[in-house]
Amino acid sequence: MNAKTAVVLLASMMMGGEAVAAPLEDYFSSLNTCYGRSYSSDHLQQHHGQQVIDMAVSHFPQKQELLGMDSPFQPYPDTPRMVLRLDVWLRGQDRSWQEHAICEPHGDSLSCAIECDGGTFEIEARDQDRLLVKLRSDLYFTQCDAGDAMLSRTAEDRSFLLSPLPRSHCSPE
């Protein structure tokens, strides 16, 4: 196929078919968003090995340029990469741990990596506007060597189903 044929084919596909939405575009648009889950005492008693007692994923698009993303600000999906904030409370800890992750489309999901080789996770859409966060490796909450928490990817800390929360539950800082 020559270049001219490829351009014509691509143009006809774009005009004739419905545009393909970016993964999770409805979840992370130009608005501030917050998803999370606090695990009940009953749940944690049934899952003794689970480290995570609370998790939140948030997106504050106006903060992206401050984190080294494209400037001037362009909301997702206008830019293929976005910054999400991951907040985690671990069992036995008296504080939450936060990290920023840079996420990119990967099929129907987002593939996210924590800065400074802090690990990777994937986010998939679920019914009722929920998100499934799946760890692909251990996660290190080190703020590039300024902290010391680790979330090990175990049988009980492998995936987390998060629901929409009021934006006030998540913080952009």
In sequence order, what E strands does 115-172 have? 120-126, 130-135, 139-141, 149-151, 159-164
Residue reference for tokens 């990469």: 81
Q: Is 107 helix (H, G, I), strand (E, B) or coil?
A: coil
Global confidence as pTM:
0.78
pLDDT in tens, the chain (173 residues): 433 333 333 333 333 444 445 677 778 776 788 999 999 999 999 999 999 999 999 988 766 554 455 444 555 656 667 888 899 999 988 888 888 888 888 888 999 999 888 999 999 999 989 999 999 999 988 877 666 778 889 999 999 999 999 878 887 66
Torsion angle of the four alpha carbons 65, 83, 79, 164, in this order, in degrees rounded to the nearest 10: -120
